[in-house]
Structure 1
C-alpha cells in the first residue's frame, strides 16, 4: 500500500477548517491540523457571508447544516444587506440601503466553526498546543528531490513533517515569516536586491484602527428599548473617524456589535502593547459621546467590550513558495470594512484543494 500524500494545515480557524473540509473529499490525502490553542475551540463573534462564498458552502455540502443556524435565501434573489446611516449627531440620518444577491448571511462564528468541525473527515488528525515556530526543507537542486519532506518546528521543541504546508496561522503567521525569509534569500541570490529589501519590510503593521467588539442577547436590548431598529435591521452607522456595524446572528437571538475608531496618522505603524484586551463601556463611550440616542441606548446594554487592534499585512509578490502556501490573514490580513476577509480565506481554501 502506497504512502498517503500528507498535508499539514497550521491554524484551526475558519480558513484552515474549510481547507480541511475540502481536502476530506480525497481519501489518498492525509490531513493534519496543528492548532496553537489548547483545543479547537469554537470562539468569536459574528461573521457575514456573501452569495459568492455561500455558493462554495453549497459545493462543499455544508449549506444544509448552515441553514439551520442562519437564514439563507435559496434562490439568491436581491435582498437588503445593510442600511447605511449617519449616526454622529443628535438625530441620525439614513442615506443608503445596500441590496445584494441573497443579502448578507450572518453567522455566529462558534456555530459556524462547529458545522465545519462536523464535516472534517474523521481520518483528519488534529494536534493542539502546537504553535509553529518555523519550517525547513532542502531546496530542490541541492541534493533534495521534489518530494523531500517539509519539517515543521514548533515552539514546544517538537517537530513534524509533511509533503505540503498550508499556513493558516493568522496575522502573526510563522509560516509567512519563514516564507518571506526564503523569498528574500532567493531574490538576493538572483541579484534582485531591491526586491529582497522590500520583502524584509512586509511584517504586519497596525492600521491605526481599534475595533470594539461585543455580542449581547437580543432580549437585553429589547428590555432597554422594545422598538429599537437593531432588533431586526442590519446597520452600518458612520461618523467622523468612527463607524459602527451591527447585525443579528444566531437566528436573530444575539446582536453582533463592532464599533471602530480610526487614528489615520498612526496607519502603518508598530503597536506597542497587547493587540487585544477587554475594556469597560465607558472607554468606548468617549469615542461615541456625540452619537445619536439610539446608539447610546445600545452601548448602555453592553457592560464590556473586547478591543482589537486591526492589523494588516503588506502585499506579498506571491502566496506560494514551493510546496508552502499561505491562507487567510497569514496571506492578506486586511481592514474589515468590506466584510470579505473570511470569505476570501474560504474561497482560496477551495481553489487550493
Structure 2
C-alpha cells in the first residue's frame, strides 16, 4: 500500500523473485511525485545498483562534477555550508566531504525510472485505491483482507504499509496492539502504542520549490548554487539548495523552526500552495544571493513537517511498515528517501 519511493523500490526488489506476486495500491488518481529534489547517499545507491536500476537512474541524475556519473568515489564534496541570515557578511564556513557524496534527482524523474522498470515485471499497479482498513487472519493459511475507501476489496499474504505519514496500516497495527495490551491489563503499554498512531508536528515548516536554471542564471549570473549544493544557515532556519534534472533545475527547500511549538497541533493544511511572498517574509533579511533564489521562485508549497514517535516494532503479524509510515523524520540529514530504500 503506497506508491512513493519506498513502495516502488520495494516492489522492484520483490519482483526479482518469481515467488512473489506484487500489487501496489496508490491512493492518488495517478503515480505522481511532487516536483522537488531527492538525494541518494551511497548506501541507498548500492541497493539501487543491486536491483539493476543504476544505469537508468544515471541518465536522469545530477552528479557532483568531481564524479564520473554515478561511479561513487571516496571523499566527495557533498555540501557547502554558508552563514546567510544577514544582509551583509555571509560566508562559507564548512565543506562537508563524505565517501561517495550525494546523487541528486528530480523526484518525478526518479519515479518515472521506477515505474518504467516495474512495467517490465509482473508487478500490478493500482491507482485510486486508498486503503480504509485491513483485517489480519485468524489462522496462518488465511489471507489478510483489505478494504479500500471506494468499497473495493482485495486479499494478500503480506501487507507492506508504505502509505506515508498518515499511514492507515500503522494506525491499524497500533490500535490492534493497544486493544490486546488493554485486554492483558497492560494499560500503560497500550497508551504508549496509541501515541504512535498520530504524527507529531515538529514546529518546523518547509517551503519547497524548483527554479529553472536559466531563470536563476539570468537573474544572478554566476550564482554559486548553479554548480554546487549549498545549505544557507541562520537562526532557527536554513535553505537547502542543489541542482537537479541534469542541471536544468535547482531544488530549494527553506525550513523555519519554532521549536517551542513542537508537539502542538498544526491547524492549517499540512501541505498547501502559498504565495512566493510568504516565503520571502519569513527570510526577508537573509543575504542577497538567497533573495535572488526567492526572486526566481514561480510557485512554492508550504509543508508542516511532522514526524512519527519511535515505535517498538514495525511488524505485527503479517503486516509491516516501511518508510515514513514507520519512521517519518526531520529533513536535515537528507535521508528520508534513502532510509526507505535501504
Q: TM exceeds 0.5? A: yes
Q: Write out the 4+ residue segments of structure 1 that deviate beyond 4 Å after TM superposition.
A: none
The question of 1:306 aligning with 2:304 is answered: no
> Partners of 1:289 and 1:75 in 2: how far apart?
38
The answer to whether the 8 A contact 1:205-1:271 is kept is: no
Equivalent residues in 2 for 1:120-139 (5 A)?
120=118, 121-138=120-137
Give TM-score, length-normalised by structure 2: 0.95
How big is each residue's C-alpha offset from its partner over 1:180-231, in whole Å with a ceiling of 9 and x where there is no partner? Answer: 1111122223332211011122210111111000001100000001111111
Task: Specify the alignment match of 1:279 in structure 2.
Answer: 274
The answer to whether the 8 A contact 1:42-1:114 is kept is: no
Offset, 1:75: 4.2
Task: Specify the alignment match of 1:107 in structure 2.
Answer: 105
> Partners of 2:187 and 2:235 in 1: how far apart?
42
Task: Specify the alignment match of 2:38 in structure 1.
Answer: 47
The answer to whether the 8 A contact 2:38-2:104 is kept is: yes
Task: Please point out which of 230, 233, 236 is paired with 1:241.
Answer: 236
Task: Specify the alignment match of 1:172 in structure 2.
Answer: 166
How big is each residue's C-alpha offset from its partner over 1:316-347, in whole Å with a ceiling of 9 and x where there is no partner? Answer: 10000010000111000111000111101000
The question of 1:329 aligning with 2:329 is answered: no
The question of 1:94 aligning with 2:92 is answered: yes
The question of 1:66 aligning with 2:61 is answered: no
Task: Specify the alignment match of 1:189 in structure 2.
Answer: 183
Q: 1:175/1:35 Cα in 2 relative to 1: closer, same or farther (>3 Å)?
A: same
Q: CA RMSD in A?
A: 1.2
Task: Specify the alignment match of 1:83 in structure 2.
Answer: 80
Note the residue ranges of structure 1 that are not aligned, 5 or more in a row: 1-9, 139-143, 348-353
Count of matched residue pairs: 333
| Secondary structure class of the residue paired with 1:336 | coil
The answer to whether the 8 A contact 1:53-1:346 is kept is: yes
Offset, 1:43: 3.7
Offset, 1:15: 0.4
The answer to whether the 8 A contact 1:213-1:257 is kept is: yes
The answer to whether the 8 A contact 2:162-2:323 is kept is: yes
| Secondary structure class of the residue paired with 1:94 | strand
| Secondary structure class of the residue paired with 1:29 | coil
Offset, 1:266: 1.0
Q: 1:125/1:275 Cα in 2 relative to 1: closer, same or farther (>3 Å)?
A: same
| Secondary structure class of the residue paired with 2:21 | strand
The answer to whether the 8 A contact 1:49-1:106 is kept is: yes
How big is each residue's C-alpha offset from its partner over 1:6-29, in whole Å with a ceiling of 9 and x where there is no partner? Answer: xxxx00110000010001111121
Note the residue ranges of structure 2 that are not aligned, 5 or more in a row: 64-68
The question of 1:207 aligning with 2:205 is answered: no
The question of 1:259 aligning with 2:254 is answered: yes
> Partners of 1:284 and 1:75 in 2: how far apart?
35
The answer to whether the 8 A contact 1:236-1:243 is kept is: yes
Instruction: Choose 269-278 or 72-81, whichever is displaced more.
Output: 72-81
